[in-house]
Amino acid sequence: MVLQCSKCGQPAIYLRRYTSEALCAACLIRTTEQRVRRTINKRKMLRDDDRIAVAVSGGKDSAVLLDVMVRIERDFPKAELIPFTIDEGIIGYRDLALKAAHRLANSLDLDLHVWTFRDLFGFTLDSIVQGRGQNDIGACSYCGVLRRRAINDAARELDADVVVTGHNLDDEAQTILMNMMRGDARRIARTNRLRELAVEGFVPRAKPLMEVSERDIVAYAHFAGLPYHDMPCPYAAEAYRNDIRDFLNRMEHKRPGTLLALLHSAETVAGALHSSLKGIQHSVCVRCGAPTTGQVCKTCQLVERIANR
């Protein structure tokens, strides 16, 4: 017996376990778009006339993000989508992902803008990793700080009102659990951070895919025929996140809906903590002028650390 689509009755090709829906390809794509629309509206992520910088990596998440955003923004002619990529300088990985990102942008009649670690900081991630000492911090620690700065610098150069990134439900759940295990209340408070809490000098960020599972995204990218690069980052094996991912995957398989429940619980906690963010005093980095809570921002600290090896 052929399983029928829960929405239209056509033959189903996908089972969305956390909603118990069997879906055909067309309804999978349509319901994913609807879920993203609800996420944007419920959390007031975007405005009708926003200039939206879309962070594109060449991977499946950002491919789905850009495709969905193009579909949604057709209803908002005053809004503008500007895809951009950060090239960290990882030979054999980022160069291939960039090709996929360019193919995706071209297929959607959009121009892709590219910034590189070398141009912004004077180093590639490969060179940073090769120069590390035995007790140095991991590649992901360097990349996370520098990439966040690069995204903000790119968004400011693009004169964007907001940056949207391809973080999915799995990513969000992993981050939430990591922050809880570290006892990092400040980061928990940033879950679904409101635009009005944005710090001057930082372009507000939004995550339209935060309620879409990674499994849904893989299926969407496949059935929509989106070009993307699926090789994992060669440095990702160092990440503590991998252990958290394995645990949550087991929980989601055993109890579908675990990831969504964790996200919604964290948002409830974050809502109670948002007032604490308003009390944080930001100054500007004495070296680069970026917003920071100390005298020297984390980016400048890392760049100095690399230069003084």
93-141 pLDDT, tens digit each? 999 999 999 999 999 999 999 999 999 999 999 999 998 877 788 888 8
The answer, yes or no, to whether residue 238 has pLDDT greater than 70, is: no
The amino acid at residue 160 is A
Domain residue limits, the chain: 36-278
Percentage above 70 pLDDT, the chain: 95
Query: What is the overall mean pLDDT for the chain?
Result: 93
The length of the chain in residues reads 309
What's the pLDDT tens digit per position in 32-69? Answer: 999 999 999 999 999 999 999 999 999 999 999 999 99
Tell me what pLDDT residue 197 has: 67
Query: Strand 21-23 and strand 14-16: pairing?
Result: antiparallel
Residue 292 has pLDDT above 80, yes or no: yes
Say yes or no to pLDDT of 88 above 90.
Answer: yes
Between 29-38, 165-174, 272-281, the lowest mean confidence (pLDDT) is in 272-281
SS3 labels along the chain:
CCCECCCCCCECCEEECCCCEEECHHHHHHHHHHHHHHHHHHCCCCCCCCEEEEECCCCHHHHHHHHHHHHHHCCCCCCEEEEEEEECCCCCCHHHHHHHHHHHHHHCCCCCEEEEHHHHHCCCHHHHHHCCCCCCCCHHHHHHHHHHHHHHHHHHHCCCCEEECCCCHHHHHHHHHHHHHHCCHHHHHCCCCCHHHCCCCCCCEECCCCCCCHHHHHHHHHHHCCCCCCCCCCCHHHCCHHHHHHHHHHHHHHCCCHHHHHHHHHHHHHHHHHHHHHCCCCEECCCCCCEECCCCCHHHHHHHHHHCC
Asked: is 36-278 a CATH 3.40.50.620 domain? The reply is yes
